[in-house]
Structure 1
Amino acid sequence: MSRDAAAAPGVVAVAWSGGRDSTALLHATVHAAHSLGYPEVLALHVHHGLQPDADDWLAHCERLAARWRHEGLPLRFEHRRLALRLRAGDSVEAEARRARYAALREMALGHGAAEVWLAHHRRDQAETFLLQALRGAGAAGLAAMPRAIGRDGILWVRPWLERPREAIEAYVAQHALPYVDDGSNADTRLARNRLRHAVWPALATAFPSAEATLADSARRAQEVRACLADLAGIDLQGLRTPQGLDVAGLLALPAHRARNALRAWFRSAAGRALPATLCERLMMELPGGRAARWPMADGALECYRGGLSWRAAPRPGSGSTGPAAPEAFTDDGTPDESARPLLRLDRPGDHRARGWPGVLRVEPVAEKGIEPARLAAVRLAPRQGGEQFQFAPARPARSLKKQYQALGVPAWLRGGPLLWQGGQLLYVPGLGIDARAWAPPGVPQLSVTWLPDDAG
């Protein structure tokens, strides 16, 4: 945070593309800033690099911001250039939106702004509701855009969400505000643009109150979504377990409440919505009571011994030890354990070793972890037979097979590497950290978890 930001805790930020709506919102905000109690307004511009005119838009915003500052308006301008890295199958729209919000958040927090205002208006809300309805969305999707929502340390506010588009157009004309026109808004390959150009004029002619009516429907859907969230909270009170979700308790609910609770639990566990098709598949397959796994791109749902759990996939950018070293052997032809490459795990994060189908996730813990120094050079090895694991200091060490059977560890969690420091077993996938390796109380310590790659 800059010195200026620290001296101005009441700064409010406005996301400013340079287009008509955001220019109107920024102009109105800087003129009302002092009466609203804001000493300064931070204008945030994101240069996506996706349009040939993006440089011109940035230059336009810089010129207009400089002019308004010269006129004495309490305005500060900040911009960020993005370099989108798209993979095959990625949605350009979705990735650009994700990167834009991340950049807006970073710029706002970096300048001491806790609120970012967005220029969405009533027509945008009506269009969003209609698009979600055409996609078959439920209450969560039909709720469209909230007027205000806190996320990742920022309050995102849409102060003009109830304001009709015509009022904004009139404001721009009244103040002769210059703005840029994004040519991609005419690209009817995009769903919103098809709706805007091919459908909305006819809809508004046939139903003049469509904008207000659809926006009201979105507002009522928001109330329904809130009620469903409250109901899910009640139903999940007795269903959450350390492993995840009690399947028997879930299936004892009426089907509609079970689906609602399942969707709410998944969102809290995975941080995103449960696909409708997978929700229906789970409701059909969970009553079978069999151990099962449902892989997805970002993780997997796993059902074992009546518990449903979510296991996240390794995060992008996981660490790697580089190319695997060739296997070494002793004189009698058996693998030379002392010659296996060592892996450094003394820092939090995801660590991948070539040759193992997964990563080792290292995280700080308050107890029952391993001192970081002991993880500075560990050896990874497969099960050989005869290894002994101790759950707690007061319990005897037993073979891995017996410990797995006693704990009911599913087969897909048993195939990862054992972690050794010299001759001391530190960690076993599915069982955890050996009690003989626990750090003493009160010292910094780390946990280790094996996360296998998705199967299929």
Structure 2
Amino acid sequence: MAPEASAVSDLAPLAVAVACSGGRDSMAMLHAVVRVAAELAREGPGQPPIQVWALHVHHGLSAHADDWWAHVEGTCQDWQARGWPVSARVRHVCVPRGSSEGLEAAARRLRHEALHAMCDELGASLLLLAHHRRDQAETVLLQALRGASVAGLAGMPRLAWRGGVAWARPWLDRPREEVEAYVRLHGVRHIEDDSNADARHARNRLRLAVWPVLAQAFPHLETALSQTAACAADAAEVVQAWAGEQVGQARQAALGGQAGAWPLAAWRQWPAALRRESLRHWYRQCSGSGLSASWVRRLADELPRLLDEGAAARWPAVGLSLYRGALVCAPAAPGFGDALAFGEPVQAAAGGMLGEGVWRFAGAPGCYEVRPAVSGGLNPRVLPTLRPRPRQGGEQWQAGAGRPPRALKKQFQTAGVPAWERAGAPLWAGEALVFVPGLGVDARWRMPDGAPQWAIQWHPGPDADSPSF
């Protein structure tokens, strides 16, 4: 073997991922990428080989979901037999049908999480998605009907970096007809999603009932909406740069960059439009999700009045609170029923908290999350002995080694803990106070760094403001 060929053969293959549902568009994208990878491999030495991965997310929402995965896997095996460098990987997700975010949104969020996890496992830094110009035009129209901001009207980005993975849509400006022609030319087999005919979904209603009428009346509808997305994307980028600079400067000046808090002394003087846009930017930056137009308007109107009054307030629905003139973002887990956003069931702590998980004591407000820790945590042997007890007054808590114990009221004031974070019941081991919501584990009970230990965090439930405990 020639030295050059030997050196190339020792190179690790480059992993490229394609999000593949098994439908027409994603199968066409997968076929095109695999063909290119195979052609490059045939050209000989000079570059590392490319391994293509078809990433399939199994939602389990359709009776045919198993068939879709079988189609993707079987097709990849057929292509492997031709010597093409492709393999398939699947990830099962459970979509909560009663989720407050809606079935479509929950499925999309879980799909994105699953795709990202598979990319991490495979070492793929590039994920290709098969969205085309019609998809983009539909997205813009749906966003407009929902009253979206400039960022929403920008539609889907051509390229976005998420956690070290590039999510790319190379066909975003190509018409659907070209994809259909590619499938016919190469005989690419694909499945038809039966849910595409379900008019309960907004995008399907648009495709089935609205789009044909609009396209007949406005033949250039698809192109025009795609252009709108491009213009809105440019505008959104400018707005985001401005908002990021303004919000960042205000936070750095007042709080030294403390995460999740934004002092509003300067913001309250800005024009209303700038207040609204900066709220959108800051909330997405802190929470990772968007703030609806109705909430943006409400907060932009309410916050100046509350600031003038020096009042504190909170909005649990969006995980926001106002305290000491700063807006704080700490989204709570939505709902404290049989399962939480923690992704696990709430356990009854009738016999005490027995280890990692989310625990609820009968009659006590909210719940307690227990996780492994490396510092500041509690001895695992103490954990099962803890019981909640309402404050009676006079309790003392020690903030650190060598520091004197002080009354809880003083400690709350010093730490700037707002009233709603004090609503949880402290945890006691017999007659000793061990853990206080909003403050943490008492210094006298903390384990040395590196020793086995548990961290505890209290999460408010719907009854946290008026506990019956």
Normalised by the length of structure 1, the TM-score is 0.82
Alpha-carbon offset, residue 45 of structure 1: 2.9
Q: Residue 290 in 1 paired to residue 294 in 2?
A: no
Contact 2:148 2:293 in 1 (8 A): no
SS at match of 1:120: coil
Cα distance, 1:409–1:88 mapped onto 2, change above 3 Å = closer
The answer for the alignment partner of 1:169 in structure 2 is: 180
Q: C-alpha distance in 1, partners of 2:100/2:24?
A: 32
Alpha-carbon offset, residue 9 of structure 1: 4.7
Q: C-alpha distance in 1, partners of 2:58/2:299?
A: 42
User: Which of 332, 348, 362 does residue 354 from structure 1 map onto?
Assistant: 362
Contact 1:12 1:38 in 2 (8 A): no
Question: Residue 326 of structure 2 aligns to which amino acid in structure 1?
Answer: G
User: Which of 387, 391, 397 does residue 389 from structure 1 map onto?
Assistant: 397
Gaps of 5+ in 2: 1-9, 42-47, 334-340
Alpha-carbon offset, residue 210 of structure 1: 2.6
Q: Residue 275 in 1 paired to residue 292 in 2?
A: yes
Percent identical among aligned pairs is 46
1:214-244 C-alpha deviation (Å, 9 max, x unpaired): 2122122112222122111111124334471
Normalised by the length of structure 2, the TM-score is 0.80
205-214 or 275-284, larger mean C-alpha shift: 205-214
Cα distance, 1:372–1:266 mapped onto 2, change above 3 Å = farther
Question: Residue 179 of structure 2 aligns to which amino acid in structure 1?
Answer: I
112-121 or 86-95, larger mean C-alpha shift: 86-95
Alpha-carbon offset, residue 124 of structure 1: 0.9
Question: Residue 434 of structure 2 aligns to which amino acid in structure 1?
Answer: L
Contact 2:358 2:370 in 1 (8 A): yes
The answer for the alignment partner of 2:139 in structure 1 is: 128
CA RMSD of aligned residues (A): 3.1
The answer for the alignment partner of 2:204 in structure 1 is: 193
The answer for the alignment partner of 1:213 in structure 2 is: 224
Cα distance, 1:96–1:233 mapped onto 2, change above 3 Å = closer
Q: C-alpha distance in 2, partners of 1:89/1:419?
A: 31
Cα distance, 1:193–1:373 mapped onto 2, change above 3 Å = closer
User: Which of 272, 287, 290 does residue 255 from structure 1 map onto?
Assistant: 272
1:279-304 C-alpha deviation (Å, 9 max, x unpaired): 222222222232212121xx632222
Contact 1:14 1:117 in 2 (8 A): yes
Alpha-carbon offset, residue 44 of structure 1: 2.5
Contact 2:16 2:52 in 1 (8 A): yes
User: Which of 340, 353, 359 does residue 343 from structure 1 map onto?
Assistant: 353
Alpha-carbon offset, residue 316 of structure 1: 3.4
The answer for the alignment partner of 1:334 in structure 2 is: none
SS at match of 1:239: helix
Q: How do 1:5-404 and structure 2 match up within 5 A? A: 8-34=12-38, 35=40, 38-87=49-98, 91-240=102-251, 241=255, 242=258, 244-287=261-304, 288=306, 289-296=310-317, 300-314=319-333, 315-317=341-343, 320=346, 322=348, 324=350, 342-344=352-354, 347=356, 350-362=358-370, 369-373=376-380, 375-380=382-387, 381-393=389-401, 395-404=403-412
Contact 1:239 1:245 in 2 (8 A): yes
Q: C-alpha distance in 1, partners of 2:415/2:50?
A: 60
Alpha-carbon offset, residue 145 of structure 1: 0.5
Alpha-carbon offset, residue 161 of structure 1: 1.0
84-93 or 167-176, larger mean C-alpha shift: 84-93
SS at match of 2:14: coil
Q: C-alpha distance in 1, partners of 2:156/2:248?
A: 28
Cα distance, 1:19–1:401 mapped onto 2, change above 3 Å = closer
Q: C-alpha distance in 2, partners of 1:93/1:136?
A: 18
SS at match of 1:64: helix
Q: How many residues align?
A: 430
Contact 1:40 1:74 in 2 (8 A): yes
The answer for the alignment partner of 1:3 in structure 2 is: none
Q: C-alpha distance in 2, partners of 1:223/1:364?
A: 44
Alpha-carbon offset, residue 452 of structure 1: 1.8
Contact 1:246 1:307 in 2 (8 A): yes
Gaps of 5+ in 1: 1-5, 325-340
Contact 2:370 2:455 in 1 (8 A): yes
